[in-house]
Structure formats: C-alpha cells, structure tokens
Amino acid sequence: MRRIEALEHLVALTEHDPLVVTCAATSRELASIADRDNHLYLLDSMGLVGSVATGLAIAAEGSDVRKVIGIEGDGSLLMNPNVLPTGGFLAPSRLFIVLLDNRVYGSTAGLPTYADRIDLGALAAASGWTTGTADDPASLRSEFARLVEAPGPTLLHVRIEAGNAADIAKLLIDPVSITLRFTAWMTARLPQRVVS
Ligand SMILES: [Mg+2]
C-alpha cells in the first residue's frame, strides 16, 4: 500500500475529527486529496505530531471529539520518540496516532530510518499504548475503526511502501492561515472554559 492510498482511506475516515499531520510529503499528499479546516499541517515541524496531538487530546477531555488523530511518519517519530512514554504516562483518552511506516525518510532521498530494525509499534505498546497493525486497506479500515473507539492512547502501525506520489503540488497555504482556521474549527468543539 502506498502512502497516498493509505491517506485516501484516512481522509474518508476523519471528516469530523481533528487531524494533526506530519510535514513534507505526507502533508502535501494529504492536502492533494482533501484540504479541510480540521487539518493541521505541521509544516517544517518534524517530530511534533505526537506532542501537538497530546496537548490537543488533553484539551479535548470532556468534549464530543472522539479522538485527536495524529498522522505521523517513522522518521518523524524517531526524531521525538519521547512522545510514546509521555503519552503512555499521561494517558489522554482521546489521543490516537496513525503511524505511516515506510522505514525510510521519504522526503530526503529515501534514506533508511531505524524503523528498518526497530519496531515502533512495539515501542508504543511497551510505553502503555493500545496498538494495532495494518498493511492493506482492509486492515487499515478495520483497525482504525477498533482503535478510534478504544480508550487512548492508541497507535495504529501501518506498514506502507517507500516512495512518494508523483506530481503532487507544493503545500503553499500560509502557515498562519492553517493555524487560524484549525484553531477556529477546534475551539468550536472544545468545552467552553471560563478564564478569570
Ligand atoms: Mg518514513
């Protein structure tokens, strides 16, 4: 399964969910499929999907948001693997990471990552996350459906092929605009808190 194929399924499954997306090819491919207000593209912020999604998931406690969903890559997660023990320790019930693992840095010439030998799903499980695996569209959809309803933190480890989709346009939306529109979308779904 190619990344863009996995993303097409994820877009169809997350129309009403906050989606925090890792940078570079993953954000570009996702935006080429659908560009929505519930998408937060972390441009040039490699390694921070788990951190941002964890904060949002904590903020979403008590709301109607079923999960804050992070779409992360193996190279990016390996830049900040601390998000796994942090998520396991804080245990936000609405935290769900979908890890698209192609075992390479897809945006930098396909250099191999540690995921070639290190099982990042097992690392998450050892950190207290509820995990699942998928390697085709059917298992992606069925495991997504199971984990999006399970108490978080949850992580779906999706094995994908190396390589990027051809002829994908650059993502040139102003980052400020991305933040403002996502913030407005998310704020409308969070419990209103009185600040004194
Ligand atoms: Mg990768």
Q: How far, in Å, from the CA of 86 to the mean position of ligand 1?
A: 22
What are the tens digits of pLDDT across the range 16-28? 999 999 988 999 9
CATH architecture for segment(s) 3-187? 3-Layer(aba) Sandwich (3.40)
Band (191; pLDDT cuts 50, 70, 90):
confident
Give distance in angstroms: CA of 161 to centre of ligand 1.
Answer: 9
pLDDT at 109: 85
Q: How many angstroms separate the alpha carbon of residue 80 from the centre of ligand 1? A: 14
Q: What is the pLDDT of residue 63?
A: 93
Q: Which residue has the higher pLDDT, 60 or 193?
A: 60
- State in Å, rounded, how far the first CA of the chain is from the last one: 51
Cα(104) to centroid(ligand 1), Å: 4
**The pLDDT of residue 192 is above 90:** no
Instruction: Give the DSSP per-residue string, 119-170.
Output: -HHHHHHHTT-EEEEESSHHHHHHHHHHHHHSPSSEEEEEE--SS--SSPPP
Give 36's contacts (C-beta < 8 A, 6+ positions apart). 15, 19
Q: What does the block give as tokens for 66?
A: 């079923």
- What residue segments make up the domains of the chain, in order of their start? 3-187
CB half-sphere exposure, 45, CA atoms < 13 A: 17
Q: What are phi and psi of 20, to 5 degrees?
A: -105, 120
Could you tell me the distance, in angstroms and rounded to a whole number, from the CA of residue 6 to the centre of ligand 1? Answer: 13
| pLDDT of 195 | 59
Interval between CA 98 and ligand 1 midpoint (Å):
13
* 3-state SS, residue 67: coil
| Mean pLDDT, rounded, for 136-152 | 97
Q: Is 24 helix (H, G, I), strand (E, B) or coil?
A: coil
What is the pTM for the complete model shown? Answer: 0.95
CA of 73 from ligand 1 middle (Å) equals: 5
Residues 85-131: pLDDT tens digits?
Answer: 999 999 999 999 999 999 999 888 889 999 999 999 999 999 999 99
Q: Residues with beta carbon < 5 A to ion ligand 1?
A: 73-75, 102, 106
Mean pLDDT for the chain? 95
Q: Across the chain, how many H-helices and E-strands are there? A: 8, 8
pLDDT of 155 above 90: yes
Summarize the confidence of residues 33-52 as an average pLDDT: 95
Q: Which tokens in the block code for residue 152?
A: 């978080």
Ligand 1: distance of its center to the CA of 142 in Å? 23
